[in-house]
Amino acid sequence: MNEIQILNKFAGRFVIKKFQERFVHEAIKRPKDLHRRICHQISTVFGEVYEGMKISFDNKDKCLFLSWGEPIYLTTWKEAKEVMSSGGGGYLVIKEDGSGFYAETEAYPATIYSGSS
């Protein structure tokens, strides 16, 4: 699957219905806007059912990763965790097959949303 296919599949599974199309657009064309939403308005992207849920990633799992100042890029869960450990918040990690995600706000303490299907 290419990046757009992953994002569409993911959005269809996890993103609030009225925001799904916009999510994919922002992820590709306006990643800073999507990052800002994850940081400050995460409940406009994901339903509250995902707040505080646990998900397991393996260190070698491939994923799309969104953080401040960069477009979404393909990496591994291990590498994403290393970036996230430096703090700052406002992260979104999507499993390469679109079947799971981890997201956190930038506030302290961060609000965590995650899920899998």
Residue pLDDT, tens place only, 63-94: 999 998 789 999 999 999 999 998 887 999 99
* Of 47-51, 54-58, 71-75, 96-100, the least confident: 54-58
| Burial environment of residue 34 by CB neighbours within 10 A (0 to 12, 13 to 18, 19 or more) | buried
Q: Which structure tokens are listed for 116?
A: 């899998």
Residue pLDDT, tens place only, 13-53: 999 999 999 999 999 999 999 999 999 999 999 999 999 99
> Do 102 and 112 touch, CB atoms closer than 8 A?
yes
> Distance between CA atoms of 5 and 70, rounded to whole angstroms?
20
> Distance between CA atoms of 10 and 102, rounded to whole angstroms?
12
> Do 88 and 74 touch, CB atoms closer than 8 A?
no
Task: State residue 68's pLDDT score.
Answer: 87
Tell me the residue length of the chain: 117
What's the pTM?
A: 0.94
> Distance between CA atoms of 31 and 108, rounded to whole angstroms?
22
Task: State residue 70's pLDDT score.
Answer: 84
Domain range summary for the chain, segments of one domain joined by +: 3-116
Side-chain half-sphere exposure of 63, counting CA atoms within 13 A = 25
